[in-house]
Every structure is written in C-alpha cells, then in structure tokens.
Structure 1
Amino acid sequence: MASFESMRFGIIGAGLIGRLLAVELAQAGAQVDLYDQSGPDAALSAARVAAAMLAPLAESAITEQSVVSMGVHSLMRWPELLAKLASPVFFQKNGSLILWHPQDAHDAERFIKHLQKNQRSNPLLTEPELLDSARLMEIEPSVTDRFSQGLYLPNEGQLDNRQLLNALVVELSTLPVNLHWNHAIEPQALEQGGRYDWVIDCRGLGAKADWPEIQGNSLRGVRGEVIRLYAPEVNLLRPTRLIHPRYPIYIAPKENHVYVVGATEIESDDHSEMSVRSAMELLSAVYTVHSGFAEARILEMATQCRPTLKNNLPEVCIGKSNSLTKHMSINGLYRHGFMIAPAILDSVIELLESGTSRTASQLGLQIVQSSATRVAACA
C-alpha cells in the first residue's frame, strides 16, 4: 500500500467511493476529513439503493469494454478489501443466472450470442454455460417448475451494499478520519488557505452544478427503482435476471430471505416515490420467476438517481487548483458503482501517489485534466 503519511485530504461525499477512499487513505497514514450532506446511513446516496451485483459479463450486454475490464478487476479485489474490514459483509461469488419465458426465446438467443461474443474478446471472462432442464435443476432447482432452460455465468458475484456502507463507517471511526455528517460544503470552501493537499469531490449528482465547469461534460441523473422483499418461501441461490421485452428484471438474493428486485432506468433527476406502473411491473415480473414471491412481504420501495456522464462511462477529473491544494473529482459510475468501485479506487490511489495510474491505463478508465487533455483513454 502507498504511504500518505503527513498528507491531508478533504473528501466531499460519503457514498461508496467517498467511504472506500477515506478508509484506504487513512489506512495508509493520511489525515482525512470526510464531509457529507446526510448521515452515516447514506440516506441520500445512490449506493444505498442498489443490488450491488458484480456481474461484468452480464453487464457487457449494455456497456463498454472498459467497464467490463474494471468489473473483472474489481471482482478479484473485493475479497481483499472486505477482508480488511472489522465488520462482516455478505459477499457471494456463485455466478449469475439468466432466464427467459418461451415467448422471449428470440430475444434470449440474441442476448446469448452477444455475451458469447463479448466473452471471446475478453479472456478474463468465463465462458457462459447454456443450461438444459437437467443442468438447470442442478444449478437453481427452485425455478425448474417454470423454466426448462437458462444461461449460467460462472464466477460473477454480489455483496450486500448496506452492510458494506455500515462496515465502512465502523472502520472510519477507528481511523484518523474526522467525520462531518450532515454537513453540506462546496469544494471551493475547502480549497481556501491550503488546509489540504488534495480536495476530492465524490458527491455524485451533488456535483452537477460544478462538473461542467471542470470538464465541459454534463452530469445527469438516471433514475432507478428497486423493491426489497422478504420472501422466506423463495430460495434463489444467486442473482437472477429475466429477459423480457418490456421489463427485464434482476433479483439479487441477500441474507435472511431478503431479495432486491429492480429493472427500471429512466432519464430523470426525479427523486420522488416509485410509480404505480413500475411497482406493478416489477412485482408481476418477479412473480413469473417464482410463485413464492406471491406471499413475500414488501420491506421497501425505493428510488435513487445514479450519476451519469456521456456514454455512461466513469471519469476521474484533475481540476484546477490553487498553489497549495490540488483538486480531483470522481463521478459517472452510473449503474455500475459496486461493480467497478475497486478499480476506480486503485486508480485514484496510484494517481495521488505518483500522478499517473497504470491501472487506469490498462482498464480504460478516463483520467481527464481540467484542460480536457486525455491522460488515459479508453482501451
């Protein structure tokens, strides 16, 4: 680990990246001040409303190769990061399951060919396995009364997002980190007077007004809606996705019979409550996967807007700074926050240590100077 002894960092935004970065820097000897407009429960963070699936091959159907590469890197790094935390965090690497109803077989065929092509172009991805009824019974026996085939993506995983956020707070309380909860502050206020060596903006959509001034690349919100269910009659063993032309859903099983169900993506900054249409479609779709969801209890219906940049790709921006304090912004993790966070963390630590990042260059993470000069371009 790099050493940052005698260095001071001001981090704004205690969502996923802000917490991970504060822990990593403090463990390396830095003095860190962490500011957030909400409390330790991350009530206003997109990271709180997430399924936290670590599924680079599954996500390759909708994203760029750079994000897939970051996902592969991060899937290997998560166990190392979690092992350093004092509090346990549910982590599973049991693969992903893709299902479809007979009427959607043509859509499934196109999806499968797409994933197979993506896997062949990235040797770090494990080849997907087509399942007949007998093999499906071995992999996921609880769905065989409704499905006779599927696609298995080995080595993909998931974790419990809320357990992780809580575990990071516990860790922060034992490290040289000053926690400023319920304290909204602008980066410019921290850059005055040379108090910090670096001010790092991890506010997500909270940085929307500042981001165009930094990079000229607009920051927008993509609204997601999820339902948390308690379903003791259901026993899914791994994250499961349903191919459907109108509402393709994912179901992420957590501990103690809790399931996170989601699908919707709407180009909007609207943080209002879930719509009736979304709730009906999610619940009807999840019932078609397993009849046991009919007696599930709805624990929560939640919405959040994911911070998203052009091409739905993340960026790290080295912004303008005064002579004493340097400025960095990390944003645009979109729907892939948990899947790619360790790759971004490792890249940022390298940048802070030496000014360059081999990890970012290898994985295709965009590192952008305030002049818009590309330092590391997508692979």
Structure 2
Amino acid sequence: MHTLAASSSITLLGAGLLGRLLATSLARQGHRVQIFEAGGPEGVGSAAYVAAAMLAPLAESAVTEPGVVRMGQHALERWPALLAQLPAPVYFQRNGTLIVWHRQDTPDALRLRGLLERTQTLLPTLPHMQTLDAEGLAQAEPALAHRFGQGLLLPGEGQLDNRQLLAALEQDMQQLGVQVHWHSPREVSDFRPGEAGQPDWVLDCRGLGARTQWSALRGVRGEVLRIHAPEVTLVRPTRLVHPRYSIYIAPKENHLFVIGATEIESDDRSPMSVRSALELLSAVYTVHSGFAEGRILEMNTQCRPTLPDNLPAIRMPQPRVMEINGMYRHGFMIAPALHDVALELLEQGQSALAPQFDLSLQYTA
C-alpha cells in the first residue's frame, strides 16, 4: 500500500464530521489539503449537524458490537486532545449517562440492565454501572428528585456540542490553509490520484453521498427536537426506557436540549411526522414537566449512513483511494477512532488500532 510522503497533496470528499477532522489533522501535519462538499460551511446537510453527539459506549452497547464500544472508550480519551487544538471552544463534558424508567416499564429496564452487565463482563475496563434507588437518583440528578424510583448511572460517559464543533473545525480549516470548495460535490472518479497534476490521495468521507461508490450503503432516518427549556436543569444525558422506543435527552449549554428516539429504515428526509413529534414530546414531558414550558426551536430529520451490518468500515478500492463510511448512529462516538486508524493507514500502510476495534479494512487493489 502507498503511504504519505512529506507535504503530500490530499483531496477529501465530504466536509461532515470525519472529513473536517481529517482535513485539519492532515493540514496540521504539513500536507496540502483540499476538500469538496456538496453543502455549505454550517454542515446542514450532514448527519453531524442534527446529532445529539453523545459519547456513551456502555449505553450504546445494547444495540452494537464490542468493537464499537471500544471505539467509544477511545473517543472519550481522544476528544479532549482533539478539541484542545481548535481555535474556538467546544462544549464537552463527562458527567455520565443516566437511565430511568417508569414503574410499568421495569421489565424492559431489567432486560436492558442485563445487556449492559454482559458488556461489562466482556469489557471490564468500562466504568462500573451504578444502580440508584430514589435517594441516590435524587443526589445524582436533583432535577429528577421524586420523579423516578430508581435508575442506572453509567459513569464517565459524555457528550459535546455538535454544532460548536463543526463551526470550530471550519474555522480551523481556514486558519490551516485548507482549500475548501463549498457547494461543489465531486465523485472519486473525478480524480486520478498519483498522476501528474492530480492529488496524491483521495479520501472519501461523504456518508450517504458516497452511494454511487458504495452501493451497500443505506439511510437510517432519525427525528430530533431541539428545545430551550429554562425550567429544566438536567446535567447529563438522560435516557428513558420505553417498551416501543427509548428516548434520549442530551442537555447542552444554556438550557438547550437535543431530544430524539425514532429510528426508521428509510432515507426519507421529509419533515418530522406528527406521530413522532407527539411521541417525543409526551415522553419527554413524563421525564420532567418543565419541558411543557419550553420552546421548540427545531424539529429535524436526518439519515445516518449505514452498512448492512450497522458497523463502520474503511476500504481501499484502488491505489491511493480510501473510503470511510458506515458510522450509523455512532458518529461522534467513533469518529476519533476512525480518524486515528485512517491516519495510521496513510502514514504506515497498516494500522495497529484497527484490530482493537474489530474494524473492517477492505483492500480490493
């Protein structure tokens, strides 16, 4: 496999979360970087723009594989270093994840706890889950005192502000001299890497925009609310166990809350359905009645790029071309791991990290 030479010319396709992370890291290393993006600098068209940006490896282990959980552990330690390089502050905290449920949903909560306990047995380096009674819950999350009789606290898990991060990365690209081409979609086939006058490498991070190259990709729709609720003072991401869907509430700065739950096998990006809005709003009200006086700032939909096994993959379909995709619902939780593996592959031709994450590396040329 070819590796990067000093001051290589690199073209990235897609300026979502991973594209921006790689662009800034490669430019910081002294490479000549340009990036082509179908949308604008705000990142509105990317899944990262709508996401809650939770970093919850143990909580997500209920729906994913151990390799992804290890990527999440890696991300919790890597994000502070990545954020420290940026020219603007990005909200980041590790107050843990709280899981609560209503009495009638106790059987579903017990099943979830069993799944999380199995993960902790398999991955003992994860912080140990804590079972909370009503008093412990009130101490851990005073805003929910007297609202629930029990809960689970997953220590060490975290979150960040997705839009602050996208903006800080965009500013960093400008300062590092990355040539950014907004509203300029490109295909891998538009380039002949390695030839005279062409980039040395092409990295494709387009998510669903890469379906012309990666036919197995599909969209998984999510529907998300952004609410300003001054009466609510939750200090950590909170998840409500429910027999049909589990909602999450991710508190950001200044009483802003990102709330979501739905996961639909569709790449339909039409506005949120009335049913989804009613279900989200009624469920979040049962967590904290203060949401009733909140203001709905946005009702968003997004489609997450997903491969058949719901796991991320990196492939090299031809010399000097790398495609990274399939982050599914775990974008912010696994992006640092994919970023680090991609850099290892570019610099060394192999990755010591990839086996730790059970990450699929596909060499077809």
TM-score normalised to structure 1 length = 0.93
Question: What is the CA-CA distance between 1:363 and the residue it aligns to?
Answer: 1.6
Contact 2:13 2:206 in 1 (8 A): yes
Whole-angstrom distance in 1 between the partners of 2:146 and 2:26: 50
Whole-angstrom distance in 1 between the partners of 2:90 and 2:213: 34
1:347 partner SS: helix
1:343 corresponds in structure 2 to: 337
1:26 partner SS: helix
Question: What is the CA-CA distance between 1:148 and the residue it aligns to?
Answer: 1.4
Q: Deviations over 1:178-206 (max 9, x none)?
A: 01011011111122644111101111000
Whole-angstrom distance in 2 between the partners of 1:184 and 1:96: 38
Whole-angstrom distance in 1 between the partners of 2:352 and 2:179: 30
1:374 corresponds in structure 2 to: none
2:131 corresponds in structure 1 to: 130
Bigger Cα displacement from structure 2, 57-66 vs 191-200: 191-200
Change beyond 3 A, Cα 1:19–1:4: farther
2:77 corresponds in structure 1 to: 76
Q: 1:275 aligns with which of 273, 276, 280?
A: 273
1:139 corresponds in structure 2 to: 140
Question: What is the CA-CA distance between 1:14 and the residue it aligns to?
Answer: 0.1
Q: 2:201 aligns with which of 195, 198, 203?
A: 198
2:67 corresponds in structure 1 to: 66
Whole-angstrom distance in 1 between the partners of 2:89 and 2:7: 30
Are residue 100 (structure 1) and residue 101 (structure 2) matched? Answer: yes
1:89 corresponds in structure 2 to: 90
Contact 2:226 2:258 in 1 (8 A): yes
2:90 partner SS: coil
Task: Specify the code of the residue in structure 2 equivalent to 1:351.
Answer: L
1:247 partner SS: coil
Q: Deviations over 1:117-153 (max 9, x none)?
A: 1112102211100001111111001112220110000
Q: 2:321 aligns with which of 322, 327, 340?
A: 327
Question: What is the CA-CA distance between 1:247 and the residue it aligns to?
Answer: 2.5
Structure 1 ranges of 4+ moved more than 4 A: none
2:298 corresponds in structure 1 to: 300
Structure 2: gaps spanning 5 or more residues: none
Task: Specify the code of the residue in structure 2 equivalent to 1:350.
Answer: E
Whole-angstrom distance in 2 between the partners of 1:330 and 1:126: 29
How many aligned residue pairs are there? 361
2:362 corresponds in structure 1 to: 368
Whole-angstrom distance in 1 between the partners of 2:253 and 2:6: 39
Whole-angstrom distance in 1 between the partners of 2:253 and 2:324: 31
Contact 2:138 2:146 in 1 (8 A): no
Between the aligned residues of both structures, percent identity stands at 58
2:348 corresponds in structure 1 to: 354
Task: Specify the code of the residue in structure 1 equivalent to 2:327.
Answer: L
Question: What is the CA-CA distance between 1:4 and the residue it aligns to?
Answer: 5.5
Structure 1: gaps spanning 5 or more residues: 213-217, 372-379
1:311 partner SS: coil
TM-score normalised to structure 2 length = 0.97
Question: What is the CA-CA distance between 1:3 and the residue it aligns to?
Answer: 8.2
The correspondence of residues 107-126 of structure 1 with structure 2, limited to 5 A, is: 107-126=108-127
Contact 1:9 1:199 in 2 (8 A): yes
1:124 partner SS: coil
2:212 corresponds in structure 1 to: 209
Contact 2:188 2:202 in 1 (8 A): yes
